[in-house]
Structure 1
Amino acid sequence: MDMNGKRVLLTGGTAGIGEQMALQLRDKGAEVIVTGRSLKRLEAMRKRGFEAIEADLHTPLGAERILHALGDRIIDVLVNNAGQGVDHDFREAAPDADAADDCIHTNLNTPIRLITALVPRLKQRPEAAIVNVTSGLAIAPRAGGPVYCATKAALRSYTQAIRAQLADTNVAVIEALPPVVDTQMTAGRTNKKMPPEECARQIVHALEKGQSEANVGMVKILKAVHSASPALARKVMLRF
Structure 2
Amino acid sequence: MDITRSTVFIPGATSGIGLALAVALHEQGSTVVVGGRRTDRLAQIAADHPGIDTVPIDITDPASIDDAARTVLGRHPDLDAIVAMAGIMQVEDWHRRESFLASAERTVITNVLGPIRLIGAFVEHLQRRPDATIVTVSSGLAFVPLAATPSYDASKAAIHRLSEALRLQLADTGVDVVEIVPPAVATDLLPGQRDNPIAMPLEEFVSEVVDLLRSQPGAPEVLVERVGFLRHAEAHGTFDEVVATLNASDHHGR
Q: Same fold (TM over 0.5)?
A: yes
What stretches of structure 1 of length at least 5 have no aligned partner? none
Which amino acid counterpart does residue 173 of structure 2 have in structure 1? T
**Preserved contact between residue 178 and residue 217 of structure 1 (Cα < 8 Å):** no
What stretches of structure 2 of length at least 5 have no aligned partner? 250-254
1:137 to 2:141 alignment: yes
1:46 to 2:46 alignment: yes
Of 83, 86, 102 in structure 2, the residue corresponding to residue 82 of structure 1 is: 86
Which amino acid counterpart does residue 210 of structure 2 have in structure 1? V
Q: Which residue of 1 aligns with 2:252?
A: none
Cα distance in 2, alignment partners of residues 62 and 136 from structure 1: 29
Choose 24-33 or 64-73, whichever is displaced more: 64-73
Cα distance in 1, alignment partners of residues 70 and 106 from structure 2: 21
**Preserved contact between residue 74 and residue 121 of structure 1 (Cα < 8 Å):** no
Q: Cα–Cα, structure 1 residues 177 and 15, in superposed 2: closer, same or farther, change >3 Å?
A: same
Which amino acid counterpart does residue 196 of structure 1 have in structure 2? L
Residues paired across the two proteins, number: 240
1:205 to 2:207 alignment: no
Cα distance in 2, alignment partners of residues 174 and 214 from structure 1: 7
Q: For residue 100 of structure 1, report the CA deviation from its aligned partner.
A: 2.1
Cα distance in 2, alignment partners of residues 9 and 36 from structure 1: 11
| 1:65-115 Cα deviation digits (max 9, x unpaired) | 322322443311111111111231246994242332222111111111111
Cα distance in 1, alignment partners of residues 5 and 155 from structure 2: 33
Q: Cα–Cα, structure 1 residues 90 and 97, in superposed 2: closer, same or farther, change >3 Å?
A: closer
The alignment's TM-score, normalised by the length of structure 1, stands at 0.90
Which amino acid counterpart does residue 17 of structure 2 have in structure 1? I
Q: Cα–Cα, structure 1 residues 99 and 90, in superposed 2: closer, same or farther, change >3 Å?
A: closer
Q: Which residue of 1 aligns with 2:28?
A: 28
**Preserved contact between residue 180 and residue 191 of structure 1 (Cα < 8 Å):** no
SS at match of 2:151: helix
**Preserved contact between residue 73 and residue 79 of structure 2 (Cα < 8 Å):** no
Of 175, 183, 190 in structure 2, the residue corresponding to residue 179 of structure 1 is: 183
The alignment's TM-score, normalised by the length of structure 2, stands at 0.85
1:128 to 2:132 alignment: yes
Tell me the C-alpha RMSD between the 2 structures. 2.2
Choose 201-210 or 116-125, whichever is displaced more: 201-210
Of 113, 117, 125 in structure 2, the residue corresponding to residue 113 of structure 1 is: 117
